Chain A
Amino acid sequence: AQKITQTQPGMFVQEKEAVTLDCTYDTSDPSYGLFWYKQPSSGEMIFLIYQGSYDQQNATEGRYSLNFQKARKSANLVISASQLGDSAMYFCAMRGFNYGGSQGNLIFGKGTKLSVKP
């Protein structure tokens, strides 16, 4: 079974500083993808970044980067130069491919609430 663990219920960061949000996962699928989503107080789910299990390099998207350590089964999100608008819930998610080539479900962690202080 797949599982996503986010151990930080809440995090604070000073504006303009970097912050790392932790995510560990467990899966028996031979290949998988890892996603991060942002959910502001408005409730919408915003896709941020994707990392494939066979990608050689860590994914980056603007101020977002993913610190992927496959052996440790971790996929931490790094936000550089935090802005007040980054205050939101952040969810780590995973989708796997089984040996039959069938794309699996998309499961989410419980989320981390990030608060950016001015």
Chain B
Amino acid sequence: GAGVSQSPSNKVTEKGKDVELRCDPISGHTALYWYRQRLGQGLEFLIYFQGNSAPDKSGLPSDRFSAERTGESVSTLTIQRTQQEDSAVYLCASSFRGQAANTEAFFGQGTRLTVV
């Protein structure tokens, strides 16, 4: 597609269940980011995939959170044993990882996760 696609757009889950969030980046974009945005708050970095290099996982808040990416394509963010504090919008972004810092990131519409 033309833009970053995230699915589902909304997800309601019961506390303790596992959820998977999916991100399809723009074709050719080698860099992929996941962020968490709680209501009225800023973007909290979670994980950064940079081509074939090891991902930067420094933002993952606990071992319940994990993410994978196959090559330069789809990424999946998994939250195990969800807690109410995990309720937020999860944003995915992708950018072309060129030789300059000026490549802007394009964002998906986000997945709104509600844990009840």
Chain A 2-17 residues near chain B, CB threshold 8 A: none
Given contacts A45-B91, A45-B107, contact A105 B101 (CB under 8 A): no
Q: How far is the CA of A52 from the CA of B98 in the complex (A)?
A: 14
Q: In the complex, how many residue pairs between chain A and chain B have their CB atoms under 8 Å apart?
A: 59
What are the 9 tightest A-B residue pairs by CB atom distance, in nearest-first order? A33-B101, A110-B42, A45-B107, A108-B43, A47-B104, A105-B48, A111-B42, A95-B101, A33-B102
Closest-CB distance, A72 to chain B (whole angstroms): 19
Inter-chain contacts of A43 with B (CB < 8 A): 89, 109-110
A103 and B104 contact, CB distance less than 8 A: no
Chain A interfacial positions (CB closer than 8 Å to B) = 31-33, 35, 43-45, 47, 50, 52-53, 91, 93, 95-97, 101-103, 105-111
A44 and B95 contact, CB distance less than 8 A: no
Query: Taking CB as reference atom, which chain B residue is nearest A94?
Result: B101
Classify the interface of chain A: helix, strand, loop or mixed: strand
Inter-chain contacts of A108 with B (CB < 8 A): 35, 42-43, 45
A32 and B101 contact, CB distance less than 8 A: yes
B95 and A106 contact, CB distance less than 8 A: yes
A45 and B93 contact, CB distance less than 8 A: yes
| Interface residues as binary, B41-82 with A (CB distance below 8 Å gives 1, 0 otherwise) | 111010010100100100000000000000000000000000
Inter-chain contacts of A35 with B (CB < 8 A): 104-105
| Interface residues as binary, B10-36 with A (CB distance below 8 Å gives 1, 0 otherwise) | 000000000000000000000101010
B53 and A102 contact, CB distance less than 8 A: yes
B100 and A33 contact, CB distance less than 8 A: yes
Inter-chain contacts of B31 with A (CB < 8 A): 103
Q: How far is the CA of A37 from the CA of B70 in the complex (A)?
A: 28
Closest-CB distance, A70 to chain B (whole angstroms): 14
A96 and B101 contact, CB distance less than 8 A: yes
A50 and B41 contact, CB distance less than 8 A: no
